[in-house]
Amino acid sequence: MENLDDLFSEIKLIIEKHSKGLITKTGTYNSQAKQKKPGYHLYGSKDVSLFGKKPQKTYIGGVIQQKNYVSFYLMPIYSHPELTENIPLELKKDLKGKSCFNIKKPTLETLKHVEAILLKGIKKYEAENWI
């Protein structure tokens, strides 16, 4: 991968590939650095009431291009932390907080790991009947 634009595009393609029956949203986000950040997000297609909140589409994850890295968000690892148990070290080192991977220098293996954990997350939310 040549640069962060390529990385953003590759992760976006992975999300698109697994979005059948789900909702995708594209957005540009403002930051304190006054730089507009492209983003692409994935939501469940039905309204679900989780954790006592009003029914809404369940956020699965997404990608946002930052200045020095690309952030890949995956909410299933926040709600089901056991999903992180078998994440390869190459991807786990990029995990910041509970549900965000800040990827700076990806490899093809990193992208394979991103796809694998995204699929696990989608399957977990399907099993919970959340999407």
**Digit-coded pLDDT (tens) for 22-35:** 999 998 765 555 56
For range 97-109, the mean pLDDT: 92
Q: What is the DSSP letter of 31?
A: -
Domain count within the chain: 1
Contacts of 35 (CB under 8 A, 6+ apart): 67
What is the domain-level CATH number for residue 65?
3.90.1150
Determine which helix (DSSP H) or strand (DSSP E) holds 45, and give its type and residue range. Answer: strand 37-48
Residue type, 61: G
**Digit-coded pLDDT (tens) for 111-123:** 999 999 999 999 9
**Residue 106 lies in domain:** 4-127
